[in-house]
Amino acid sequence: MSIKYKKSNRKRERARKDPVSFVMITKGILGFRESARLVKLAAESGCTIRLTAGDKVGSTDSVLSLTALGLGAGNSVFLSIDGRDKITALSGCARILNENKA
């Protein structure tokens, strides 16, 4: 008697559900304009983006919470992205946080 196993996509399904988290060093500042761009990016990609700098936490639910982080050039920040289109949100976050301000 032979038993046939059905291929499982559990690992792929779980990877889609798990949030993406990483640490990066900012090259620019996170002011009101950049915070608003992050909120817009999160809304367009269907994701929730959380930034943690030291003991302060900001989320794309509030522009003010992101601005209150006080991120400047050279600060390290922990990002957690959860939602529908994480890849777009990830590349957008990196682009916004790494813009050089002169």
Domains defined along the chain, listed by start = 18-97 (3.30.1340.10)
- Does the pTM surpass 0.85? The reply is no
Which residue has 């522009």 as its token pair? 63
Each residue of 11-31: pLDDT tens digit? 555 556 778 898 999 998 899
Of 71, 51, 72, which Cα lies nearest the Cα of 60? 51
Q: How far apart are CA 25 and CA 79, in angstroms?
A: 11
Each residue of 21-70: pLDDT tens digit? 989 999 988 999 999 999 999 999 999 999 999 999 999 999 999 999 99
* CB-CB neighbours of 69 under 10 Å: 19
Strand partners, 79: 22, 51
Sign, CA torsion 26/93/60/32:
positive
H helices of the chain, where? 10-17, 32-45, 63-67, 86-97
